[in-house]
Chain A
Amino acid sequence: MKVALFIPCYIDQFYPHVGQATLELLEKLNCNVSYPMNQTCCGQPMANSGYERDTEGTTRQFIETFKDFDYIVAPSGSCVLHVKEHQPCLKEGGKEQAEVQAKTYELSEFITDILKVDTIQGSFPHKIGFHSSCHGQRGLRLSSSSELNEAPFNKAKALFAGIKGLEWVELARKDECCGFGGTFAVSEEALSVQMGKDRLSDHLEHQVEIICGGDVSCLMHLQGIAQRNNNQVKFMHLAEILNQAIS
């Protein structure tokens, strides 16, 4: 099984340690992982800004880079959702594009659904607040939505369940949006920051030690607000916690 690591542009540029943790984690789970050097960005920022039609070149580049792998795995629900649902349909290579879209997975989803790992064995004695990113949760259905009348589930929580010492905190508003939303964070700056502050308060009121999530974008936004307000809470991506817990 040839697994390609898809590292979104902002993780590549600002959070290389999340990329490293994802790589190491997948290797510990016995995957044959490589990072295709020609990858750039999936095109989500442009598409969500209303310019999906201008991302054809970016999309072509993405498909060309990843088409020969069995699976494409990214530590970002949001970018995966973009690849699966919002790439513009290319006139040529429709079949190839559909295949690439179908074999692209978010990290926790790949571990639970493809590798069939129910839970991770390890130790991580910390109190965690989990921020379910909206695109991961309601887009990729990585966890149940509070709006729906369905049996509760959460793929990240399931993976954490076997980790010794890890305390999972239930938040008051378990799946409220943090206010990032890509370019929304800039175009609706005041709202975005207010939403982030409220989200952060929910975690802080529950005295979490580490705010964890499957999307670095949400964490980047929350961390930016926490730092501005001198909150000492730590931030870690799901991949970093799982990777540390195993070693």
Chain B
Amino acid sequence: MSHPSQAAKFLKDEKRAHWHDETLWFVREKRDISSKKIPEWEELRKIASGIKDHVLSNLDNYLAELEKKATENGIHVHWAKDAEEHNKIVLEILKKQKCKAIVKSKSILTEECHLNPFLEKNGVEVVDTDLGERIVQFMKQPPSHIVLPAIHLKKGDISELFHKKLKTQKGNEDPEYLTHAAREHLRNKFLGAKVAITGVNFAIPETGEFVVCTNEGNADMGVHLADVHIACMGIEKIIPRRADLGVFLRLLARSATGQSITNYNSHFRSPAPGKELHLILVDNGRTNQLARDKFKNSLKCIRCGACMNTCPIYRRSGGYSYGSTVPGPIGSILSPGIDVKKYSTLPFASTLCGSCSDVCPVKINIHEQLYEWRQEITKAQGITGKGLSMQLANGIFKSPLAYKISGKMLRATLKTLPNSIIYNPLNAWGKGRDLPATPKQSFKEWYQKNRS
């Protein structure tokens, strides 16, 4: 399914789409207020972007250093070239532990690798412990947003869902009541899991440690109760030194939700006595993206979701309209790198308004990359009707005479044809909009008569 048709479907329920837009705009405004309280905000963005540039240029060295230091700290380090390898590594660890149920704290990487269905197929129960993630998991849906996974659902939807799944009172929409029910339910899962999986927000080669940021403390809860902790990270998640964290933690929470800092920023450096700690470093297309000069700095992304909240397209079409694990503007420049055919409509799902680039805490030139992907996609598509019409347009625009004649013909046609023919189903412009009035002469004609 292409983005335009998914977006049109989402917009059919105009009231809900409007609510979705307002909700995300509220988060964007919280982010504005919070970021503007810091005088050095733009400086921080510049520094963060510079650090990430540096990391991407020295990724091989930093990864080697991370592996060395982490191993010295007692962490088992694994390498996975793709999603399949990643999932196999996880399963092997679980098999060794004879583990049939795990808890998982929010990790977009495991979503990207489709770990949940893989583990379930292999007889392992997976429980996402982030509240939003648990909600979409109950609904058998993927997250619709990378930070706010259930943002597309209203209180009423969740009340109904919890009534079915957790036997809460029908019609009770009180957030506190519902959260309490979820907590109760999740506590039991935490207590029963031998293995906990988490994502990684930042990995630090200097110390061989990694940092996980959550607002619910669910990563910590899972990890501390389990015997084995498996952390999964994309290879781009590196920041060189512990001191660099100050830059990124200040940017991350403010950009994501407008908070000063995430509630829990937990450092993991070595396993507790008698426990195991595994770190899986996953490529899954990242080195390919790194090799693409025009697109490599998309790998700077720290997954704050700010570009989604600000994007007028995302706000009005919803996360699912993108059909990719990472939706929104950043997803639209990451996904074509994975499968250019499948995600061919995403870079066109933008007006190139540039809000995503201005909001990005690590200064990724998202809208410029969307433009560049358009050029790549049309090349990959070969000869198409659209391409031929563009060549025809170039033929007209490179000749002043051809331009003059076709302009005149266009205006004459619009003037003489009845509205019933102009406003036909093939005229997408005219479905919800009137065409401009047709003047009797062009500016060129006016100028020739009156000024030259």
Contacts and interface: CB of A to CB of B under 8 A. Distances in A.
Interface of A: 7, 9, 11-17, 19-20, 23, 35, 37-41, 43, 45-46, 48-58, 60-61, 86, 134-135, 137-139, 145-150, 173, 175-177, 179-182, 184-196, 198, 220-221, 223-225, 227-228
Most buried by A among B7, B433, B437: B433
A148 B4 CA distance: 30
Most buried by B among A23, A56, A57, A225: A57
B4 A188 contact: yes
Contacts of B391: 51, 54
Nearest to B359: A147
Contacts of A180: 351
22 contacts: A12-B443, A13-B442, A14-B436, A14-B437, A14-B439, A16-B441, A16-B446, A19-B443, A39-B400, A48-B371, A51-B386, A53-B375, A58-B394, A86-B371, A137-B354, A139-B354, A147-B358, A177-B351, A184-B350, A193-B433, A194-B17, A223-B434
A132 to B, nearest CB: 10
Contacts of A181: 350-353
Nearest to B387: A51
A191 B313 contact: yes
Interface in B336-372: 348-355, 357-359, 371
A191 B7 CA distance: 7
Nearest to A42: B397
A17 B440 CA distance: 11
Chain B, interface size category, equals: 35 or more
Most buried by A among B400, B429, B436: B436
Contact of B433 (A11, A13, A225): A225
Given A147-B32, A180-B351, A188-B313, 11 more contacts: A16-B439, A23-B451, A35-B451, A41-B403, A49-B390, A50-B374, A51-B391, A61-B398, A61-B399, A193-B431, A194-B316
Contacts of B312: 176-177, 179, 195
Interface of B: 3-4, 7-8, 11, 14, 17-18, 21, 25, 32, 35-36, 38-39, 41-42, 310, 312-313, 316-317, 348-355, 357-359, 371, 374-375, 377-379, 386-387, 390-391, 393-400, 403, 407, 410-411, 428-429, 431-439, 441-448, 451-452
Contact of A46 (B348, B394, B407, B434): B394
A193 B432 contact: yes
A41 B444 CA distance: 13
A138 B355 contact: yes
Contact of B317 (A11, A86, A191): A191
A190 B316 CA distance: 10
Given A46-B390, A134-B354, A138-B357, A195 B398 contact: no
Given A13-B442, A220-B436, A190 B11 contact: yes
Most buried by B among A39, A57, A146, A190: A190
Contacts of B395: 57
B186 to A, nearest CB: 36
Contacts of B447: 19, 23, 35, 37
Contacts of B432: 189-190, 193, 196, 225, 228
